[in-house]
A and B are shown apart, each in its own frame.
Chain A
Amino acid sequence: MIRQWMASLTAVAVRMVARLITTARPVWQGLEPLPGQRIYFANHASHGDFVLIWMTLPPRLRRRARPVAGADYWRSSGLKRFLIHDVFHGVLIERVPDPNGENPLDVMNAALDAGDSLILFPEGTRNTTDQPLQAFRSGIYRLARAHPEVELVPVWIDNLNRVLPKGEVVPIPLLCSVIYGEPLVLQHQESREAFLERARASLLALSSAHGGEKDD
């Protein structure tokens, strides 16, 4: 009871701080923010990426959207466990294959079977290269195969990598946008490579597609 209460309070505080630093604006470019089961897949350049998606979703979507996160990091302390389980309702997966541990795909499939949505970073690790987007891992393809009813929504997180570049501790306040693109559907007999490339291209297409007309 008290734990739940503290979790709601923490969630509000996280949203307030994140809003002060980034103003986190959602841009609904390819879909309306209506209820529905989805896999939101996004570029991964900063630790705060999933927070921005989580907070820009409207409350009723946010309640069922669970970020997929690395178990090794989030199980390492009591505070992190509280944040990932109670505040963000995350789905923890083993990033290094562990014969005794749970298979990451089983864990994610279980969440989808339960009707939840996922927030996923198909690049696997944070992108510290000069490329805007690394190659995708195949997990998203297998999830799409197993759950054809779930919409795959590309989400481009803009500018957050400049707020807190790798190795820095103090965040710089900068305007960030979270751009939600048009959902993808796995085509009949589409190969893994073709689908992963298509998904990656659909995400990359959002990165430069939000410039406004200038007239003032």
Chain B
Amino acid sequence: MISTIPAGLWTLLSAVTGLLTVASVIGHMLRRRYSPQGDNEVVENLNQRIRSWWIMAVLLGIALLGGRTAVVLLFAFASFSALREFISLVQARQSDHWALALVFFVVLPVQYLFVWQQYYGMFSIFIPVYAFLLLPVVSALRGDSHGYLVRISEVQWALMICVFCVSHVPALLSLEIPGFEGRNVLLIAFLIVVVQLSDVLQYVWGKLLGSHPIAPNLSPSKTVEGFIGGVASATLIGGGLAWMTPFSFLQAAALALMIALLGFAGGLVMSAIKRDRGIKDWGHLIEGHGGFIDRLDSVVFSAPIFFHVVRYFWSVV
């Protein structure tokens, strides 16, 4: 597989390393200036986030260099962790125990096996057809109808968000784009870089200029200024990344705009769920960021649609 590492990936990884180095230096300077005793929460959180970014970037970089199996394993693990966070919040009862065991130990591995096999006919319908029909049956067999509709719907949504949607990131490797053979990892890199930079830039623009909350009831930290600034800059950056994709500048910018808007929508939907359940973060494993879903929420919404748009307009399978 080593021979198939596309040159563009090295360029991109170097750029990401440079960007994170700059971020670390800025974080270090802010700390010396405003938080020498480690008592300024905003600065401490920023530095935690940057440290976590390093870890996430290194893991993703290794997976992308490692090839299909490594990428599938990384996202299967991310799905597992996200699912663990989501299922912790649902109102499942003991009668759902077998359904939940199936979700974790059968549905998730089988979905990623199909993705690994690049078996489009199955990974695109296995969860919405087979899992969604089978799991309510398993729950019903225990004969407990208390809150039944809510219980089965929550489990289905957990699977949809944490497994089905996330698995469409490694599924990008199955597309066959003429003239782009062997370089599909760059589609993953394009999606992740655009969606995460859009998140970061919305945060930065919001902190610099933000004054009008965009969804005060769901997410007080999101502002109109942050949204416009972040999405616009992510669109430009996406266009600037056209060199590593099969897209022209305008196509790449349009796709980046779509990704950024969907990413924003994902963050909004996941915030609404957090509000509903009275929590601030989905988990605690990614220092400074919260849980896996806190970091994946924007990827979750953009990945399947990016996959299908690229498949429809560019792929031959």
Contacts and interface: CB of A to CB of B under 8 A. Distances in A.
B85 A172 contact: no
A23 interface: yes
Interface in B44-99: 80, 83-85, 87-88, 92, 94, 97-98
Interface string B115-153: 000000000000000000000000000000000000000
B97 A168 contact: yes
B278 A214 contact: yes
Given A170-B101, A172-B104, A212 B88 contact: no
B281 A173 contact: no
Contacts of A165: 94, 97
B76 to A, nearest CB: 13
Give the one of A159, A168, A174, A216 with max B CB within 10 A.
Answer: A216
B313 interface: no
Interface of A is mostly: loop
Nearest to A170: B101
B94 A172 contact: no
A23 B101 CA distance: 17
A173 B162 CA distance: 14
A173 B80 contact: yes
Q: How large is the interface on A (under 10, 10 to 19, 20 to 34, 35 or more residues)?
A: 10 to 19
B105 to A, nearest CB: 7
Given A172-B101, A173-B80, A213 B280 contact: yes
Contacts of A32: none
A174 B279 contact: no
A59 interface: no
Interface string A150-172: 00000000010010010010101
A170 B283 contact: no
Contact of A172 (B87, B274, B294): B87
A204 interface: no
A25 B291 CA distance: 13
A23 B94 contact: no
Contacts of B280: 212-216
Interface of A: 23, 25, 159, 162, 165, 168, 170, 172-175, 211-216
